[in-house]
Every structure is written in structure tokens, then in C-alpha cells.
Amino acid sequence: MARTPVQVTEDAPKSRGDLRREAFLKAALEVFLEQGYEAASMAEIVTRAGGSLTTLYNQFGDKQGLFLAMISERAQLLTASMFVELSAHTPVEIGLTRIAEQSVTKLLEPASLELYRLILGLGAKFPDVALAFQKNGPDRVSAALAAYLTDRAEAGEIEIEDPVEAAYLFISLARAGLVTRALLNPEFRPGQDDIKASVRTCVNLFLNGVRVRPAT
């Protein structure tokens, strides 16, 4: 077996061009996040990355090309970092807590929030980007969670009609508390403790609901 089937982090070759490309993408990330697509300027990106405008155009064609390349690279990194392997035998409380803490923590990082904002804001322009992001990101996390929920349902621990729907709802619930607030309010910066507390509430709600039930 030569190398891992997946991506990233090949470190050996790094030709000059590759280095340039990385620097461009990094600077592009910064500038696009700070200013938004329209307001970002190619010259500014070159200034931060070093290198020359000409090279930038040679590598990415035009502003849109650079933007798409940057977004797809980042979306990949972001969603990859949200994965958690869930053994079918992990008790459901633990499994849900782990997946929720992991993805909420990651999403609350400023860089993630801003990327998310940027993607949401794209709207009519670049409809593909948002779609691709959803397919690679949220949908894949949901799918993994759905499989896990199915296992736990078979183990008799929980009872759900549609695991995919349930998975999606759980993820949304977990994100809702903090991430949605943070999206609208840049001041709002919850710490690890807030995250744990919020996740606990969500897991509990997801499992038990709020209805009063007869004493056991």
C-alpha cells in the first residue's frame, strides 16, 4: 500500500508554484472573509500573499476561480474536521454528546463562522457552492449520525421513525443554541463550558422531551 487513499498534507514535493498557490489561498481566505466577495480586492490579496498579480491570475483564471478554489478547499477542511467515529455500541447519550460537542466547537471558531456566513450569503450568485457545501458537510455528518441512530434503535435504546430526519434534527438542535446566535451576533463568544452545557441540554431534550410523564 503506497499511500492513504484520501487527501491533503502531502508534504514532500512543494514546488515553488505550490507554495505560491498555498499562500494565495490563505490570503484569499482572509480577505474574502473580512470583506465579502464583492468588496474583496485581488490586489489586496496579492499584497498579503506576496508574489504577483500576474501569477495569481495565471493560477486561478479570475476572481471567481480563486474564490471557488478557496471555498472548496476550506469547506473540505471544515467538514473533515467535524467527523467523529461512532461505534455502534456506544450508548446513545455518549455518542450524541461527542458528535455534538465536536461539531459545535468546530463551528464556533471564528474562521468557521465566517466561512459559513460567507457561504450563506452567496445566495443567487454561485448556487453551486452552497449546495456542494451542504452535500459534503452537513449531509455527510447527518448520514453518519443516522447510521448510528439506526444501530441504537435496533439495540432498543431509542425509538425513531426516520433516522435521517432525526439525525438532521439533532444536529440542527445542537447547533441552534449557540451557533445561530453567534452567526447573528459577533460579540457572542461562548466558551467550552457553555458548549458543554448547551450540548447537555440538547441531548437531554432530544432523548426525553419536555413532557411530564407519570412517575416510574
Which one of a second copy, DNA, none interacts with residue 15, CB within 5 to 8 A by kind?
DNA
CA 74 to chain centroid, in Å, comes to: 9
Task: Work out which of 1, 2, 124, 215 binds a second copy, going by CB under 8 A.
Answer: 124
> Kind and range of the H or E element at 37?
none
Report the nearest approach of DNA to the CB of residue 120 (Å).
Answer: 21
- Residues 18-57 contacting a second copy, CB under 8 A: 34-39
Of 51 and 137, nearer to DNA (C-beta) is: 51
Q: Least distance (Å) from a second copy to the CB of residue 107?
A: 13
Rounded Cα–Cα distance for residues 46 and 72 (Å):
20
Q: Which stretch binds a second copy (CB under 8 A): 3-11, 46-54, 58-66, 206-214?
A: 206-214
The identity of residue 59, as a single letter, is: Q
CA-to-CA distance for 9 and 158, rounded, in angstroms?
Answer: 40
Cell numbers found for residue 198: 448547551
Task: Count interface residues toward a second copy (CB under 8 A).
Answer: 58
Residue matched to cell numbers 478547499: 73
Q: Counting Cβ atoms within 10 Å, is residue 80 exposed (0-12), middle (13-18) or buried (19+)? A: middle
What does the block give as the cell for 128?
453551486
- Which among a second copy, DNA, none contacts residue 131 (Cβ within 5 to 8 A by kind)? a second copy
Whole-angstrom distance, CA of residue 172 vs CA of residue 194? 17
Q: Per the structure block, which three cell numbers stand in for 79?
A: 467538514
Question: Of DNA, a second copy, none, which one does residue 17 interact with (CB within 5 to 8 Å by kind)?
Answer: DNA
Is 110 a binding residue for a second copy by CB under 8 A? The answer is: no
Partner whose footprint covers residue 42, from a second copy, DNA, none (CB < 5 to 8 Å by kind): DNA
- Which residues contact a second copy by CB under 8 A? 34-39, 92, 114, 117-125, 127, 130-131, 133-134, 138, 156-162, 165-166, 168-169, 172-173, 175-177, 180-181, 183-186, 201-202, 205-214, 216
